[in-house]
Structure 1
Amino acid sequence: MLQRPEPNEYDPYFSIYINCIPYGDIIQFLQQQRNQINALFTELSEEQGKLRYAPGKWNSKEVLGHITDSERVMSYWMLSVARGDTTNLPGYDQDMFVNNRSFGDCTLAELITDFQAVRQATLSLLTTIKESAWLRAGMVVNKDVTARTLLYIIAGHTEHHLNLIKMQPC
């Protein structure tokens, strides 16, 4: 089983996401999270998917799109670090990503399908990473991080947003 990262494997900033993940099997957690996303967003009507809980905040469709886009980017970071890339990997502008995608033009079913495909790709990627590579360190947005930390950040980022939607902080 892939072990939880140690605090010396990441910048304290990433604790916000890592602390959202319970101890246990991270791969099983990722699979359960995939099912949870499906259940949560399938229950929403298209109109509910467009509602904002406050002015200037993302609606549910945009949140799901953001989760999906972020997992795409973070999976690339994880792949790069696991493969030994020592490049300081760039961040991304999450607001620009959301604003330039027009998630409101998509149905919830389309957004769920997209998330499911990205999560499946992440799970598939995990099978290609050797055990020794999980401890490889790299740099993401000027912060040192190991490959396994990035996996926990992927899961924790999703959990963070799910908890905001359910109004249950980590």
Structure 2
Amino acid sequence: MLNKPEMNEYPPYYEGYVNHVPDGDLLQILDAQLKETINLLKDVSEEKSEFRYAPEKWTIKEVLGHITDTERIMSYRLLSIGRGEKEMLPGYHDDEYVKRGKFNRFSLQELLHHQSLVRQHTILLLGSLDEEALVQRGRANGGEVTARAIGYIIAGHEIHHRRLIEERYLKSDNF
């Protein structure tokens, strides 16, 4: 079972994500999250999936694309740091990734399928790392982080955005 990382295992700006993750087996949490996200969005129409709760905000499809892209990037960091990479891994500009991802051209079901495949990869990768690899420290986006912390950041990032979808999109008077 993967235990929550200590605060010294990740930069302070990730604390909110890590704190969102409930206690328990992280691999089971990640698997359950995927099911929760699919269940949350499965009945959203294509028209509604392009809803923005405010001008210049992302659509539901863009939020889902962002969650998936971020998990891809974090999984690469997880692999790299778990394998002992010592070079600084780059950050990324999420707004630019969403803009260039052009997620609204995909159906919501396609985007959910992409997220499902990426999540399955993340679970397999995390499950393959031994304790030594999980506590391995590396550098990414200007800070030091452990492989284990990255797993929790992935989970917390999805929780954060799923809550935003529930609160700002699905409960909006304009939805």
- Shared fold (TM-score greater than 0.5)? yes
- Counterpart of 1:150 in structure 2 is 150
2:93 corresponds to 1:116? no
Q: 2:68·2:114 contact (CA, 8 Å) conserved in 1?
A: yes
Q: Which residue of 1 aligns with 2:45?
A: 45
In the other structure, the counterpart of 1:24 is 24
Task: Report the Cα offset of residue 11 of structure 1.
Answer: 1.5
- Per-residue CA deviation, residues 84-140 of structure 1 (Å, 9 max, x unaligned), is 001110011111111112111100110010000000111111232112111110011
Structure 1 length as normaliser, TM-score? Answer: 0.96
- Cα shift readout 1:115-169 (whole Å, capped 9, x = no counterpart): 000001111112321121111100111101110000000000111100111129x
Shift of 1:45: 0.3
User: SS state of the match for residue 24, structure 2?
Assistant: coil
- 2:139 is matched with 139
Q: Name the residue aligned to 2:54.
A: 54
* Structure 1 position 91 matched with structure 2 position 91: yes
Matched with 2:77 is 77
> 1 CA distance for matches of 2:164 and 2:75?
22
Report the residue type matching 2:163 in the other structure: N
C-alpha RMSD of matched pairs (Å): 1.0
Say if 2:124 is the partner of 1:129. no
Measured in 1, the distance between the counterparts of 2:79 and 2:46 equals: 35
What is the alpha-carbon distance in structure 1 between the residues aligned to residue 114 and residue 123 of structure 2?
14
Work out whether residues 68 and 118 of structure 2, in 8 Å CA contact, stay in contact via their aligned partners in 1: yes
Q: What is the aligned residue count? A: 168
Counterpart in the other structure of 2:35:
35
Listed one character per residue, the Cα deviations across residues 43-94 of structure 1 (whole Å, up to 9, x for unaligned) are: 1000110000111100100000000010000000011110000111001111
Aligned-residue sequence identity (percent) comes to: 46
**Larger CA deviation: 9-18 vs 58-67:** 9-18
Q: Secondary structure at the match of 2:128?
A: coil
User: Following the alignment from structure 1 to structure 2, what is the Cα–Cα distance between the partners of residues 25 and 167?
Assistant: 27
Give 5+ residue unaligned stretches, structure 2. Answer: 169-175
The aligned amino acid for 1:57 is K
- Distance in 2 between residues matched to 1:147 and 1:102, nearest whole Å: 30
In structure 2, relative to structure 1, the CA distance for the partners of 1:22 and 1:127 (3 Å cut) is: closer
| Gaps in structure 1 of 5+ consecutive residues | none
